[in-house]
Amino acid sequence: MLAYANPRRFLRLARALTPWFLGAGVALTVVGLFLALFVAPPDYQQGDAARIMYVHVPAAWMALFVYACMAISSAVAFIWKHPLADIAAKASAPIGCVFTALALITGMLWGQPMWGAWWVWDARLTSVLILFFLYLGYIVLWGAIEEPTRAARAARILALVGAINIPIIHFSVEWWNTLHQGATVFRTDGPAISASMLAPLLVMAVAYNVLYVALLLIRMRMEVSQRRLRTIRLGLETAPA
């Protein structure tokens, strides 16, 4: 990790890897959607309405995963002062925010025919909504503080404090009586879903992860370049006439 603390070295590696991750992510998404829409059988209770889970469930997983990455990056920035850690956390926030919004929107589209309501204030949905606001707060915080060092420090604290919500979301269906169904894939006794439905779900999950890496590299490259331009600009402004 420390070997790529040098921005030039990171930019060189990211520039080479981005097209591969982006291409693989798009290809996996196309394959996953084809399997979900045309190969996977309809659910025996919910029928074709359950096909939305192939978009919803991986998006919900990514909402948690990306925020966990932000919290880990913030901890790395606090402890080891890695120069790219804050950049990785900052670059992840908009991506995670989109995944969370996608999870909420598809969840409402799925919930309406299943529960008869677009939204219910149960523990899982409410805690994911809080996660969405944490993402928004993190993004706004970076933009609200002009001094980069102070902005980074405040954003780290928010990311680490907000990480408390991750186990709450994960265990909410076990701790409280909710309408949301429990875990069906990551279970100690094995997945409670047929292989024909599990395969496209996992393909979409991998696709989302690969796309996240591609978008993260793109956003990190942009942030590193912007910081270098800012440094050059400040140097020119402070240089003697």
pLDDT in tens, 183-212: 667 655 666 588 888 999 999 999 999 999
Q: What phi, psi does 43 have (nearest 5°)?
A: -65, 145
- Is residue 207 within 8 A of residue 102, CB to CB? The reply is no
pTM of the model: 0.91
Q: DSSP characters for 66-101?
A: HHHHHHHHHHHHHHH--TTHHHHHHHHHHHHHHHHH
Question: CB-based contacts of 64: which residues, under 8 Å, 6+ apart?
Answer: 131, 166, 169, 170
pLDDT in tens, 137-167: 999 999 999 888 999 999 999 999 999 999 9
Contacts of 8 (CB under 8 A, 6+ apart): none
Residue 169 predicted with pLDDT over 80: yes
Say if CB 83 and CB 7 are below 8 A apart.
yes
